[in-house]
Amino acid sequence: MAVATTSSNAAVRGGSTLTKRQARLAMIMLAPTFFVLILVAFYPLVRTFLSSFTNEPFANPTAEVANVGLENYQKLLGIQIAPFPEGASLRDTMITGYRRVNTFELFGERYLFAAGDPMWIQAIVNTILFTIISVALEFSIGLLVALVVNTRFRGRGIMRAVMLIPWAIPTAISTVLWRYMLNDNTTGAMNALLSAFGLIEPSASIAWRSQYPLLSVILVDVWKTVPFVALLLLAGLQTIPTDLYEAGAVDGATVPQRFFRITLPLLFPTVLIALVFRTLDALRVFDVFAILLPNTTRSMATHNYEMMVTSYQYGYASATGVLIFIIIFAFTILYMSLFRVEVD
Amino acid sequence: MAGNRNFSYWAGRIGFSALIVLIFLYTAFPFYWALISALKPESELIQTPATFFPQTITLQNFEAVFRNDAFLRGLLNSTVVSIVVVIAALCIGSFAAYALGRLKFGGKRWILYVILSMTLFPQISILPGLFTLVNQLGMYGSITSLMTTYLIFTLPFTVWVLTSFFRALPAELEQAALVDGCTPFQTFYKILLPLTAPALVTTGLLAFIAAWNEYLFSLTFTLTQPAAQTVTVAITKFTGVIARNEPFGEIMAASVVVTVPLIVLVLVFQRRIVQGLTAGAVKG
């Protein structure tokens, strides 16, 4: 009896029942994903945000936690640039609680640059420099590699497989490898190679990591990422129809003209999207900085980590995390609206 | 005139070949260096200048690595964590992907935007919150903490890539199944899921590599518990068995051991990986 009623109801409602059933099934099938994402992303995000307004210590559940308002953010964002003539007192010039980043000359005047957290400011500068230089290098070298590998030659298949290796090796492990290669002792292949090619004196022992810290991380990241970028660009190159080049050749276009008028414009969408992905990746760099340059030169991510784990300042680290999140999320939104990402 | 063209032709050929060799060496050299350093005996490792071709070859470093408990433990942890994460991400993710790729319901667009932005989520920024979560769940210092938290970077990616695969399947299949009396859920697991098997392999592989290569969470959630460390962390904290001041040869041997399975995977599934990467990144 009950069954009959239900089915006749269904028959009356017809198509809308099917739609409703689909919607309900969709919700059930999406539920596990929602649950996981709320648990491992949304909840930690809220927790981080809330504790960024406190002085909560790390790994000390019994400690008293006080609300400190915007204090953490004031310290992180506080910078001061003030005229600092020769002989002036640092104590009188600098805001209390700040520390000196450096002093610089501009138009013959001496200035003081101080900040609430100089290491954080330095970390932002390092991360941005790292991002700009390494992404620029990765795309220029990557494009060259992609163009070379896109031509026909023997062993092209092997070449493509080899190119996946740096990408597949865990960053932590390739960084350990490079840590030795950049040493100034017998493990330092870099010096050995350069002197084998006569580029440096055999006696020169360059301690790359301490003498050129930023260059060292860029070197490692570029090595790891160039083949990856090249493979993405290669995929883009292969979507360009060859008859375009033939038509160009018939019309008398030279090789550089064909490159700038055909290849680059058609490759542009691929380049743009890969560029954004790489930039977002580079902005959150952790492994290379943490392993290659322990504690000397920091990125935003390693500063966050050190503040929490080494300095035991959970609340302060949370504020750092929120700032990193805002920087990267703003970039993500910008990218999604800029390229009008179509999801359906 | 003809001689001139010949000359530029050969110069071009030689220059091009040189470029290929250069790219090859640039890409492969660090791995080659790790391999020969692992094969060199202790005495040759401290020789100046360093040798680019080992004079004597020994397996001593590899033997030492396989006697190193911390390292073996790390290998085991990495394997278990990666496999569990891949299975979980594929199960949970394929459900969501079917719903997003095949079913009609309101708000789908927004869910897809959320998933896409999650694939770009900066994990480092919520590290404090994640640490608290791991603690509250009683998972600190155990590999279950990694199995849970690794879903933050494997799940959104899996959903995103699988959704595009589900969407690409022809609608006739589904209609035929519905006409034959399948419920939508039966259509999913009897008809469509088997068809996405290639996509499952590709995404699973990429998720496996991502989990195997992870470093930050493993470092943070096992700080005082070396027994739960994965291999990436174990290698950075390596202390050798036949240690001199720094067990360089052994660390290189360990790096080679960790890398070889990945290289094998990459060589076998080369085409699929490139397809998966371009599906995830280029199409956006």
Mutation target for A interface from B116, B126, B238: give the one with most A CBs within 10 A: B126
Lowest mean pLDDT among B32-41, B65-74, B166-175: B166-175
Length of chain B: 284
Average pLDDT (B248-257) is: 90
Contact call for A25 and B99, based on CB within 8 A: yes
Look at residue A334 in the predicted model and tell me its pLDDT.
Answer: 79
Contact call for B215 and A309, based on CB within 8 A: no
Residues of A with CB below 8 A from B17's CB? 153
> What whole-number distance in Å separates Cα of residue A36 and Cα of residue B150?
11
Tokens 């202390």 found at: B239
Look at residue B283 in the predicted model and tell me its pLDDT.
Answer: 39
Average pLDDT (B127-137) is: 94
Which residue of chain B has the CA closest to A57? B128
Residues of A with CB below 8 A from B111's CB? 30
> What whole-number distance in Å separates Cα of residue A286 and Cα of residue B216?
7
pLDDT at B216 > cutoff 50? yes
Contact call for A305 and B159, based on CB within 8 A: no
Look at residue A321 in the predicted model and tell me its pLDDT.
Answer: 95
Query: Which of A21, A227, A273 has its CB closest to that of B27?
Result: A227
Tokens of A226: 């160039």
Look at residue B245 in the predicted model and tell me its pLDDT.
Answer: 62
Domain locations in chain B? 2-58, 61-282
Contact call for A159 and B273, based on CB within 8 A: no
Nearest chain A CA: its distance from B46 CA (Å): 6
- Strands A109-115 and A99-106, by their bridges, are antiparallel
In CATH, the architecture of B61-282 is Orthogonal Bundle (1.10)
The 10s digit of each residue's pLDDT in A84-98 is 888 888 878 888 888
Look at residue B18 in the predicted model and tell me its pLDDT.
Answer: 86
Look at residue A277 in the predicted model and tell me its pLDDT.
Answer: 83
Look at residue A31 in the predicted model and tell me its pLDDT.
Answer: 96
Q: Which of A312, A309, A49 is nearest to B221 (CA)?
A: A309
Query: Which of B29, B49, B236 has its CB closest to that of A176?
Result: B236
Contact call for A40 and B258, based on CB within 8 A: no
Contact call for A36 and B49, based on CB within 8 A: no
Question: pLDDT band for position B85 (50/70/90)?
Answer: very high
Q: To the nearest 10°, the Cα dihedral for B242, B247, B248, B252?
A: 70
Q: Which residue has the higher pLDDT, A150 or B149?
A: B149
> What whole-number distance in Å separates Cα of residue B108 and Cα of residue A31?
13
Distances in Å between the alpha carbon of A285 and those of A46, A314, B151, B280?
23, 20, 19, 20
Residues of B with CB below 8 A from A161's CB? 266-267, 270
Global confidence as pTM:
0.87
Max CA separation in chain A (angstroms): 99
Q: B33, A191 in Cβ contact below 8 A? A: no
Look at residue B25 in the predicted model and tell me its pLDDT.
Answer: 85
Q: To the nearest 10°, the Cα dihedral for A169, A175, A176, A177?
A: 70
Q: A99, A75 in Cβ contact below 8 A? A: no
Is residue B240 classed exposed, middle or buried when 0-12, 13-18 and 19+ CB atoms within 10 A define those classes? Answer: buried
Weakly modelled stretches of chain A, pLDDT under 50: 1-13, 344
Mutation target for A interface from B29, B65, B125: give the one with most A CBs within 10 A: B125
Report phi then psi at A284, rounded to 5. -105, 20
Contact call for B155 and A37, based on CB within 8 A: yes
Query: Which of B20, B109, B188 has its CB closest to that of A159?
Result: B20
pLDDT at B243 > cutoff 70? no
Query: Phi-psi category of A194—alpha, beta or left, where left has phi over 0 and alpha has psi -120 to 50?
Result: alpha
Encoded amino acid at A278, one letter: R
Average pLDDT (B163-171) is: 87
Q: Which residue has the higher pLDDT, B73 or A189?
A: B73
All domains of chain A in start order, with CATH: 79-115 (no CATH), 119-338 (1.10.3720.10)
Helix (H) or strand (E) holding A113, with range, is strand A109-115
Question: pLDDT band for position B282 (50/70/90)?
Answer: very low
Look at residue B247 in the predicted model and tell me its pLDDT.
Answer: 83
Mutation target for A interface from B9, B17, B27: give the one with most A CBs within 10 A: B27
Beta bridge partners of A67: A54
Residues of A with CB below 8 A from B118's CB? 37, 41
Contact call for B127 and A325, based on CB within 8 A: no
Look at residue A189 in the predicted model and tell me its pLDDT.
Answer: 79
> What whole-number distance in Å separates Cα of residue A112 and Cα of residue A151?
55
Question: pLDDT band for position B4 (50/70/90)?
Answer: low
> What whole-number distance in Å separates Cα of residue A31 and Cα of residue B116?
17
Which residue of chain B has the CA closest to A166? B27
Residues of B with CB below 8 A from A171's CB? 213, 215
Question: pLDDT band for position B129 (50/70/90)?
Answer: very high
Residues of A with CB below 8 A from B132's CB? 44, 47, 51
Which residue of chain A has the CA closest to B255? A173
Query: Which of B116, B235, B282 has its CB closest to that of A173?
Result: B235
Look at residue A11 in the predicted model and tell me its pLDDT.
Answer: 43
Look at residue A171 in the predicted model and tell me its pLDDT.
Answer: 92
Which residue of chain A has the CA closest to B47? A186
Tokens of A37: 């994402």
Q: How many CB atoms lie within 10 A of CB A169?
A: 24
R_g over Cα of chain B: 24
Residues of B with CB below 8 A from A305's CB? 124, 127, 216, 220
Contact call for B133 and A149, based on CB within 8 A: no
Question: pLDDT band for position B284 (50/70/90)?
Answer: very low
The 10s digit of each residue's pLDDT in A182-229 is 887 766 778 878 887 878 777 777 888 888 899 999 999 999 999 889
Residues of A with CB below 8 A from B185's CB? 25
Query: Which of B19, B122, B131 has its CB closest to that of A284?
Result: B122
Residues of A with CB below 8 A from B34's CB? 177
Mean pLDDT, all residues of chain B = 86
Average pLDDT (B49-53) is: 76
Residues of B with CB below 8 A from A172's CB? 213, 215, 232-233, 235-236
ipTM of the modeled complex: 0.86
Using DSSP, state whether A99 is helix, strand or coil: strand
Contact call for A186 and B132, based on CB within 8 A: no
pLDDT at B106 > cutoff 90? no
Q: A316, A72 in Cβ contact below 8 A? A: yes
Average pLDDT (B95-115) is: 90
Q: B16, A152 in Cβ contact below 8 A? A: no
Average pLDDT (B235-243) is: 70
Nearest chain A CA: its distance from B238 CA (Å): 10
Contact call for B266 and A161, based on CB within 8 A: yes
Tokens 């290491």 found at: A119
Nearest chain B CA: its distance from A230 CA (Å): 11
Nearest chain A CA: its distance from B58 CA (Å): 18
